[in-house]
Structure 1
Amino acid sequence: MDWQECCDKRIAKDVKLDLPLIASLIKSSANKMKSENSLMISEITAASKLSLAYDSLRELLEASALKKGYKIYNHECYTAFLKEVIGESVKGDEFDEIRKVRNAVNYYGKSISTEETTDIILKIKNLRNFVNSLLK
């Protein structure tokens, strides 16, 4: 789905700048990342760590979209946002890859190894750093 389709289907809408909401999302994102960091990786915690890290990234993306004047209502449109609004096609592809793994784990019961979880969380942290830089 491209950005135009996201807007046409009203999955992404123009909104007014809401600085308190942006600040709240940034704080919530940081708290989720701290929670993820506090869990030791194991076969039991792998999916939880992935979910926390992903949610942390998604909240930063939501804050970034709000800062640009958009409210995005599905995760697929964050890929289009990164690619077309931010102009970072590679980052959009990275997010989409992460999103698909997270969806497979959360919605389809896919098992995830500690090694794969560690690799994906590293990608999430790198992408978080990039999105954080957009919020400065």
Structure 2
Amino acid sequence: MKKEIMDWDKCAKESIRKVEADMDKIRSMVKMAKIELEIIAKIPVTDESASKLVKDYYEIIKELMIALLLSHGLKSENHECLISFVKHQYPQCEYEIGIIHELRGIRNRISYDGFFIEKDYLSGKKLEFEHITGMLKKLIGENVPELGQMD
């Protein structure tokens, strides 16, 4: 049975707090995500590298969700509420949220259960992961126009 995305109202009440939107931190997080994407793009996708690369994609997406939340003046105590926030705030991104939620579960299985991903999984999802990173950067840029182009 697939675990549901955490309820936003519960997250807002228990795991989300207001903070000041730190433009330098947001800019730095987006820059780091860009660098990390450039690095992993150079790693060949093999059965040996696929699990590591999937974890890396999740970490990049997670950092961009943290930056997006911060651009709204919010901070989350857990990864589940990051996903819940994006689902609540950007309902038009429902498809992408489903992919992120699935990716979080796979990343947890890799990290905590020693689960191995086959290269075909990553080959089939890589474009979606790249689309999601671009979407998150676009949402950050739209929410904080003074940051300029988020590429």
Same fold (TM over 0.5): yes
Distance apart, 1:91 and its partner CA: 2.6
* Residues 58-109 of structure 1, C-alpha deviations (whole Å, 9 max, x = no match): 1111111100111122111122111112223333222111111111112111
Partner SS, residue 13 of structure 1: strand
User: Cα RMSD (Å) of the superposition?
Assistant: 1.4
Residue among 53, 67, 71 paired with 2:57: 53
Residue 128 of structure 2: aligned partner:
123
Q: Does the CA contact (< 8 Å) of 1:79 and 1:93 recur in 2?
A: no
SS at match of 2:84: helix
Q: Distance in 2 between matches of 1:74 and 1:121?
A: 25
Distance in 1 (alpha carbons) for counterparts of 2:112 and 2:55: 11
Displaced runs of 4 or more, over 3 A = none
Q: For 1:1-136, what aligned pairs fall within 5 Å after superposition? A: 1-9=6-14, 11-87=15-91, 88-136=93-141
Q: Is the 8 A contact 1:47 1:105 kept in 2?
A: yes
Any gaps of 5 or more consecutive residues in structure 2?
1-5, 142-151
Contact kept in structure 2, 1:32 and 1:55, CA below 8 Å: no
SS in 2 for 1:135: helix
Deviation at 1:39, TM superposition (A): 0.6
* Number of residue pairs matched by the alignment: 135
* Unaligned segments of structure 1, at least 5 residues: none
Change over 3 Å in CA distance of 1:106–1:121 after alignment to 2: farther
- Deviation per CA, 1:11-46: give whole Å up to 9, x if none: 221111100110111011111111211111112211
SS of 2:130's equivalent?
A: helix
Q: CA deviation at 1:50?
A: 1.1
Aligned-residue sequence identity (percent) comes to 24
Tell me the amino acid that sits aligned with residue 25 of structure 2.
L
Letter in 1 for 2:79: H
TM-score (norm 2): 0.83
Residues in 1 aligned to 2:39 and 2:55: alpha-carbon distance in whole angstroms = 11
